[in-house]
Structure formats: C-alpha cells, structure tokens
Amino acid sequence: MTDSSLLSSLLDALQLLLLGDGKLWSIILVSFKVSSLAMLVAALPAVICGFLLAYMRFPGRRLLISLFNTLLAVPAVVVGLTFYILLSRHGPLGDWKLLFTQTAMVLGQIALCFPIMVAMSHAAFQAIDLRAWETARTIGAGTVQAFMMIVSEARYAILGAFVAGFGRIIAEVGASMMLGGNILHYTRNIPTAIALETSKGELSQGIALGIVLVTLSFLLVSVLHYFQGRGQIQ
Amino acid sequence: MSYKPTNIQYSNIHKRWKRHIVLKEVDIHVQGGHCILISGKNGSGKSTLLRIMAGLVKPDQGTIELGLGTLPWKQGVKITQQQVMYLHQTPYLFSGTVEKNLRYVQAAHNNLPIEMEDINKAMAWANIRHLSHKPVHQLSGGERQRVALARARLRSPKVLLLDEPTANLDKDSRARVMELLSSLRKQGVAIVIASHDPIHFSSVIDQRLRLIHARLEPEPSQPDNIIPLHERGASHS
Ligand SMILES: Nc1ncnc2c1ncn2[C@@H]1O[C@H](COP(=O)(O)OP(=O)(O)OP(=O)(O)O)[C@@H](O)[C@H]1O
Ligand SMILES: [Mg+2]
C-alpha cells in the first residue's frame, strides 16, 4: 500500500466521522447500547459478590475467589464459543432463539465483564479496614446501609472496577462476532465492523471506527488513572 | 414510652482463636446506670470480650438473658445489638470531614431524628467544633478519639462498651471523657470499660473485674491511695 492511499483513507475516515455517516453511527450506537446494557445488569451483582467475598466467611470462599480470577483471563472467543453452544438451535438453551441477537451479545458481554468487576471490587473492599463495617453497624446502620457506607469508602476503586469492566467489553471482537453474527444495524458493533470492513478492503471505515475506539480507550484509561489517584489520597 | 432500665446478663461465654483459649466460662451482667471496668494484661482478651458483647464476634458458647428468659446467643444478640455500641481501641472514621462522620450517625439512626443542632452540641461538647470541616485523615490520634466519642454521644446507646478510651488522650480530654461517662451513667446508660490502665477511671467505676487466665474475676479491692492526687483532681473537674 502506498503512503498516499493510506493518507486518503485517513482523510476519508475523518470525513465519515465528522459528517455523521449514518451507517457508521448506527454501528457505534449498537456498541454502546449492548455494552451499557451488559454493564447495567452486571455492575451491582458484581459489587455485591466482591463485598461478600471480602467481608463474609463461608465455605468455598477461597475457591470462588480463584474461580473469578481464572475467569477474568478467559479469552473472549472462548466465552463466545461457550454461549454459542448453549444458545445454538440444538443447544440446551436453543428454544430461547437468542443466537445472533443483541440479547445474546449482552449475555456474552456480561460473562466477560462480570468476573473482572468481581475481582476488582473484591480487591477494593479488601483495602477497606474491617473496622469500617463494624463501626457502621455499631453506630446503628442496618446491613444495607452499612454496605452503602462501605461502598462509599471504596468508591474510587469501585468506579475503577466499572471502567475496567467496560473496557473489557467495548472493544472485544470474539464474543460479539460469534453471538451477534455481525448483522448491519442490529448486531454489528465497532470491533466486528472493523474486522469486516478491513477484510473487504474498506480501510477508511475501519480507520474511522478505530479512531473512535482508541479515543474511547484513552478516555477510559484516563478516568481509571484519575480514580486510582483519588483512591490513594484518601 | 415507658422507661425500662437496661438489664443484660451474658453467661457462660467461651471463645477460642484456633487453639488458644481466650475466654472461658465468662459471665457478665450489665445494668443501666452501672459502670464496670475490666482490666487485664495485653492479650488477655478484653477487646475480644467487648466485641463479643457488641455482636461483632461470635463466641463458641454463650447465652443472653434479657428478662424474657435465657436466649441462645444467636437470638439474644440480635436484640442486644441494637442497644449496644462498641468503641474501637483505635477508632475508625469514614473518609470525609468530621461533620460528615457525625451526619452518618444521623443517617444510620433514621428512626430517631438527630438535628444539626445536636451535631453541633456533640461537637462542642467533645471540643472538636473548630475541626468540623477538616478531613479526618488530617486529625491527630486524640482528635480522632474525640470524634468517636462525639459519635457515641449522638448515638446515645443503652450500653456503651469502650476499648481503652483514654489511650491517646491528654489530661484535659481524659477529664472530658470522665465527664461523658459520668453523665451517661446518670442518664441510665450501662457502661463497660476495658483498660489495662484502670487508674484513671476511679470516679465512675461501680465494679472492677479482671481477666486472668481466660477467666473474668472480681478485682481484689485496692487501697484508695494508689490513685495519684493530680489524676483525681482531673477526673472531678
Ligand atoms: N481475630 C483474631 N484472630 C486470631 N486471634 C485473635 C484475634 N483477635 C484476638 N486474637 C488473640 O486473642 C487474644 C486476646 O486478644 P485481645 O485483643 O482480646 O486482647 P486485649 O486484652 O484486648 O489486649 P490489649 O490490652 O493489647 O488490647 C490475643 O492473644 C490475640 O492474639
Ligand atoms: Mg484490646
């Protein structure tokens, strides 16, 4: 490829972004819709799990902790494959007819971001002194209220866990491709579109979406750093 | 609302950490308006006993009697937990300002409204009013202790368990703690103090106990003149 064609692709990409190309923005919208939904479902249960693992003593606790730590390293394609088998027509959940829908993508992304958010909020709660919980209880807070007080103590680290969870799913290709099927205006999101457009030789589309992802990653990392910094000052 | 004096009998408390027996057949009776001092060496189990009474640590054995008959621990502690407040040896303060920490008591205690006026009063009483907007991580050890005491005053529990409440305090603050304790005692609060330095508390103590070899025993009575004169002066001011 010559330099000039790369440059013109880049210019085309910027033009697509700035002029608000309909197809491009529908792809970006799918990405955000699916990943936000997954986060919405997974965030609170993950924080509660992290809390229970950090503060409660029950049999199997250590095993669960290593399980989540293992799960967070499982490649997205493998998660995709697992859900593909479950949801495919002859699979155990085949009757739900969910394969190649946004719901299937949301399910896969929940499975991807949940373990990392559990592991990170577990670490966040572990950094908070047990006396915080005891103090909350002894000044008269009920279980839920005491939980909220501890969450507030660990807020920066927990926000960090959310950012990391979102970062894990917004840019992954494997699960989205296998579970969504890359259908335009429905299940085609940023990463699957990049893979497709590039393979078709439509570099400018790919680059435009790549710019969106890189900008987003940069923002997420900055936010993460900010929260980690705030957490340390406390 | 009819007034019913607090009366809790904790009986036959046993506690082991791994193979180390910390408490054995411990009985303790707390009564409204009555102040108990538990002394004992470092590691004798004073904190453990108070934390068990506060419901923060589960004993291996034990029962609670509340005037409704004897209850198994699990059942009894659910009731007593709401009346008992425990002050840590080194207090934990929530991140944020001093005032926010006192507001937390208000929030936690929403069935019993605490007004800003009460918060201000508690701060003035503990001599921390000038610190009200200071972030707690900037406070000194004694100042933190005073915030914890202001929190206790706001919460106004029926039973107050204090773990080394004067360890970090200078003479003035110690005198203030004595004031708090004697005023709470007059209001009918049951008080239990754990300290290996029992000499400061003589003005409020009704009963002295000692933890020794995992058992709680009455302290052999000691002559009054052990108490240094300047300390007695401080505790009455
Ligand atoms: N969570 C725990 N796990 C294991 N052992 C513990 C735990 N808490 C206390 N212990 C042990 O129990 C014993 C009694 O401890 P405790 O804190 O009750 O003593 P204490 O009388 O309050 O001592 P101090 O005067 O130093 O405050 C100690 O030997 C301590 O090591
Ligand atoms: Mg102690």
Shortest Cα distance, chain B CAs vs residue A2, angstroms: 58
> Which chain A residue has its CA at the smallest distance from B86's CA?
A138
Interface test with B, best of A131, A138, A155 (most B CBs within 10 A): A138
Sign of the dihedral through C-alpha B30, B33, B39, B45? positive
Shortest Cα distance, chain B CAs vs residue A191, angstroms: 41
pLDDT of amino acid B230: 52
Cβ neighbour number for residue A64 with a 10 Å cutoff = 15
Q: Which class for B167: exposed (0-12), middle (13-18), buried (19 or more C-beta within 10 A)?
A: middle
Q: Which residue numbers of B have CB closer than 8 Å to A's CBs?
A: 51, 54-56, 81-82, 84-88, 91-92, 94-95, 104-105, 107-109, 137, 151, 155
Rounded distance from Cα B99 to ligand 2 centre (Å)? 28
- Are A152 and B54 inside 8 Å of each other by CB? no
The C-alpha atoms of residue A163 and residue A90 are separated, in whole angstroms, by 36
The C-alpha atoms of residue B152 and residue B164 are separated, in whole angstroms, by 15
The C-alpha atoms of residue B89 and residue B93 are separated, in whole angstroms, by 12
Mean pLDDT along residues B85-110: 90
Rounded distance from Cα B47 to ligand 1 centre (Å)? 7
The C-alpha atoms of residue A99 and residue A92 are separated, in whole angstroms, by 12
Q: pLDDT for B3-39, tens place per residue?
A: 577 899 999 999 999 999 999 999 999 999 999 999 9
The torsion angles phi and psi of A20, rounded to 5 degrees, stand at 70, 55
- Are A149 and B94 inside 8 Å of each other by CB? yes
> Which chain B residue has its CA at the smallest distance from A155's CA?
B95
Partner residue facing B94 (CB), from A132, A134, A137: A132
Which regions of chain B does DSSP assign to beta strands (E)? 7-17, 20-31, 35-39, 61-65, 70-72, 84-87, 159-163, 190-194, 207-212, 215-218
The C-alpha atoms of residue B200 and residue A86 are separated, in whole angstroms, by 70
Q: Tell me: pLDDT of B221 over 80.
A: no
Which amino acid is it at A120?
Answer: M
Strands B159-163 and B20-31: unpaired
Partner residue facing B54 (CB), from A132, A138, A142: A138
Question: A220, A203, A179, A23: which is closest to A87 by C-alpha?
Answer: A179
- Are A138 and B91 inside 8 Å of each other by CB? no
Residue nearest to atom 10 of ligand 1 (CA): B17
pLDDT of amino acid B1: 41
pLDDT of amino acid A232: 63
Residue from B15, B16, B18, B22 whose mutation best tests the ligand 1 pocket (most atoms within 8 A of CB): B22
Give the pLDDT band of residue B223 (cuts 50, 70, 90). low
The C-alpha atoms of residue A217 and residue B30 are separated, in whole angstroms, by 60
B-chain CB neighbours of A131 within 8 Å are 88, 92
Beta bridge partners of B207: B36
What ipTM was assigned to the predicted interfaces of this complex?
A: 0.84
| DSSP 8-state symbol, B166 | T
Q: pLDDT for B164-199, tens place per residue?
A: 988 878 888 888 788 878 888 998 999 999 998 777
The C-alpha atoms of residue B28 and residue B161 are separated, in whole angstroms, by 13
pLDDT of amino acid B2: 43
Per-position DSSP letters for chain A, written without gaps between them: --HHHHHHHHHHHHHHHHTT-HHHHHHHHHHHHHHHHHHHHHHHHHHHHHHHHHH---TTHHHHHHHHHHHTTS-HHHHHHHHHHHHSTTSTTGGG--TTSHHHHHHHHHHHHHHHHHHHHHHHHHTS-HHHHHHHHHTT--HHHHHHHHHHHTHHHHHHHHHHHHHHHHT--HHHHHHH---TTTT--HHHHHHHHHHHT-HHHHHHHHHHHHHHHHHHHHHHHHHHHHHHH-
Tokens standing for A169? 């799913």
Q: pLDDT for A62-89, tens place per residue?
A: 999 999 999 989 999 999 999 999 999 9
Mean pLDDT along residues B231-235: 46
Q: Give percent helix, percent strand, percent coil of chain B, each to the nearest 5.
A: 40, 25, 35
pLDDT of amino acid B235: 44
Place of tokens 């946004």: A102
User: Which ligand sits closest to the CA of B44?
Assistant: 1
Strands B61-65 and B7-17: antiparallel
Return the CATH number at A215: 1.10.3720.10
Shortest Cα distance, chain A CAs vs residue B54, angstroms: 8
User: Which ligand sits closest to the CA of B211?
Assistant: 1
pLDDT of amino acid B237: 39
The continuous run of DSSP H or E covering B142 comes out as: helix B141-155
Rounded distance from Cα A138 to ligand 1 centre (Å)? 20
- Are A139 and B108 inside 8 Å of each other by CB? yes
Which amino acid is it at A104?
Answer: A
Rounded distance from Cα B127 to ligand 1 centre (Å)? 32
Residues of chain A short of pLDDT 50, as ranges, are 234
Q: pLDDT for B109-150, tens place per residue?
A: 666 666 889 999 999 988 899 999 999 999 988 899 889 989
CB pairs A-B closer than 8 Å: 53
Beta bridge partners of B218: B209
Q: Which residue numbers of A have CB closer than 8 Å to B's CBs?
A: 129, 131-132, 134-142, 145-146, 149, 152-153, 234
The C-alpha atoms of residue A202 and residue A209 are separated, in whole angstroms, by 11
Tokens standing for B112? 């019993």
Number of domains in chain A: 1
For residue A224, what are the domain limits?
3-233
